[in-house]
Amino acid sequence: MAPSSVVVTIEKPNKFSLVEINGSDSTLLLEKQKAVSPKQFTWFLFLKANRVFACLSWLPMALKTMFLSVKKRIALSDVSEEEAKSRRLYRFIKVFLFISIFALVLEIFAHLKKWNLNMIQPWEVQGLFQWCYMTWLSFRVDYVAPLVLTMSKFCIVLFLIQSLDRLILCLGCFWIKYKNLKPRINGDAYDIEDGSSFPMVLVQIPMCNEREVFAQSIAAASQLDWPKDRILIQVLDDSDDGNLQLLIKDEVSLWREKGVNIIYRHRLIRTGYKAGNLKSAMACDYVKDYEFVAIFDADFQPNPDFLKQTVPHFKGDPELGLVQARWSFVNKDENLLTRLQNINLCFHFEVEQQVNGAFLNFFGFNGTAGVWRIKALEESGGWLERTTVEDMDIAVRAHLNGWKFIFLNDVKVLCELPESYEAYKKQQHRWHSGPMQLFRLCLPAIVTSKISVSKKANLIFLFFLLRKLILPFYSFTLFCIILPLTMFIPEAELPLWVICYIPIFMSFLNILPALKSFPFLVPYLLFENTMSVTKFNAMISGLFQLGSAYEWVVTKKTGRSSESDLVALAERESKSLNEEKITRRHSESGLETLNKLKKQEEITPLKKRNRLYRKELVLAFLLLTAAARSLLSAHGVHFYFLLFQGLTFLVVGLDLIGEQIS
């Protein structure tokens, strides 16, 4: 075929033909091809109309399905333990809602009557209702509006300070990227030929009723590339299910037979949650022979080269106490909830952890996917059971003792995100109540420590107060209480840059580390405001030592597969080759019991269902009521913000975000 020739496929009804022409005739053919017959155009319109009608027919079915799901959810709803223990906040919001509804009815009546009270003299008032309304307006202007205005200005100042902190962190991240600032390994790497040159490393996998993920975490840890005589894996099982304990023991035995130095530990007295589990494991006599300890939660799957990428950083730096790796998520695209979590955590690791590690040599330990120098743990007092954030506790105490931390943004460890709103809500409650408990306990030690004044100021004002207390306080107070309140008190109306421009800009900064999630910018902003209720409630319970502050609920896992799981799957398939060994290790009655336990677990699954969340639902109606009031005043941006924020609260309150259980 000549280079100048063109191949054109002409499509006709019931007929296809292939024509080859030279370049000189191509223009003529293309001009003819542009002409479309009326019959083809008619079929094109019919096709488009068919698609439109298909979408229109699908929409009522989708709405009907969602309505039936919501109706069923309301009928089967029950009050969760967390909801029952936080009645004070719920009652406050409910009273606020009733007052708002009453005020809305009053405003609608006045609007329909077309009262212009600025033009009415006191002696011209007609009727008791109009007199009450005029009295309320006078009281609102003289007493209520100044109070609300003062509160809003205070929260706006906190909002601007926190936004400035975020902006500085982002600028620090850009500087790190621009200068290519990364932690470097001091000295030569370990001699591969000489196994004795590698330091002794202890690997700990704390778990508690982690039925879905225990096998893949044990498999991943067992395949770490490190000399076999220089590593010991501790499976620290705190499960209270005897069936699950047998399954984990069996998995550990399989890897031990393959030459892996791995042991199983189970505490008889299970106190102190994860901190108590780790403390008990570190009390073993053989721990004194090890120099470093790597910690992985049960859903974490480190790559085989994890230790070779982290442990060498300790070489030549005796002041280094912790090397923290980044998390990556196997199920970040599972649903809308996991996508929004991914945005948050990408900013946390890429910006917060990396910047604090690069410029301050301090950040909060993430509790997993990190390697500690055992000497740093021991000199800092070891694991303590006094809070639900034992990871942050040990990090603060190690920092006060002068130990340095580094964060490796390039070393990633796969894990899971909570896929249900219930699991995510409980996780966030623990993450935001624990720091306030710790702040109360650590404040005297911070003030009297020997670290510099600048480090003390960073710990008190930035690490604890600004990022752990002020952020949830102003987020809830400003956007969930003051904003709807100002719709009924126009004298204290919030400016547009507070409710629109700055929040969108800050959300854009938050989403930069996960640019593929840019289409979720607005949902992310609305969802973060929705989560402020949970975070505010957790912060208050931790600060004032309320009962829910000491709750520890293991985050529910699903056991999503990943690339590293394929290796574990291959290892599992080799299990059939080791049946003779298993038979020698276990008696026939033991195997029969194990099989019965597995069958029993398959036959009797736990019943699960989506819940209703009362605080979120009440706030949804409160914001929608305020949106209706803003509509009377022709507030454009305020109305749309309140409308969509109220709908977001409604979706979350009905548990329509995240995993849906039929």
Check 297, 391, 393, 655 and give the catalytic one: 391
Contact 429, 537 (CB under 8 A): yes
- Structure-block tokens of residue 108: 């609608």
The answer to whether the Cα torsion of 616, 622, 625, 627 is positive or negative is negative
Q: Sign of the C-alpha dihedral, residues 131, 135, 141, 145?
A: negative
Burial of 256 (0-12, 13-18, 19+ CB in 10 A): middle
Residues with Cβ within 8 Å of residue 464, at least 6 apart in sequence: 435, 438, 439
- How far is the C-alpha of 645 from the C-alpha of 541, rounded, in Å? 25
- Which residues lie closer than 8 Å to 316 by C-beta, 6 or more apart? 186, 187
Distances (CA, A) of 489 to 143, 146, 322, 529: 11, 10, 52, 22
Rounded CA separation 326/346 (Å): 9
Give yes or no: 297 in active site: no
Residue 381 backbone phi and psi in degrees, to 5? 100, 0
Cα separation of 301 and 460, whole Å? 34
What share of residues in the chain are helix, strand, coil (percent, to 5)? Answer: 65, 10, 25
Residues listed for the chain: 662
Give the distance, in angstroms, between the CA of residue 537 and the centroid of all CA atoms in the same chain: 17
Residues 128, 132, 137, 141, CA torsion sign: positive
Q: How far apart (Å, rounded) are the C-alpha atoms in residues 329 and 341? A: 10
Residue type, 542: G
**Distance, CA of 490 to CA of 135 (rounded, Å):** 16
Q: Are 474 and 131 in contact (CB under 8 A)?
A: no
Q: How far apart are CA 654 and CA 652, in angstroms?
A: 5
DSSP for 247-300, please give it: HHHHHHHHHHHTT--EEEEE-SS--SHHHHHHHHHHTSGGGGG-SEEEE--TT-
Closest CA to 204 of 238, 241, 254, 229: 238
- Here the tokens at position 261 are 């130095």
**Catalytic site residue 238?**
yes
Amino acid identity for residue 440 in this structure: R
CA angle 409, 415, 419 (to 5 degrees): 125
Question: What count of Cα atoms within 13 Å lies in the side-chain half-sphere of residue 270?
Answer: 15
By three-state DSSP, how is residue 36 classified?
A: coil
Name residues whose C-beta falls within 8 Å of residue 422's C-beta, 6 or more positions apart in sequence: 80, 556, 610, 611, 655
- Looking at the chain, the number of H-run helices and the number of E-run strands are 26, 9
Instruction: List, by residue number, the catalytic residues.
Output: 238, 391
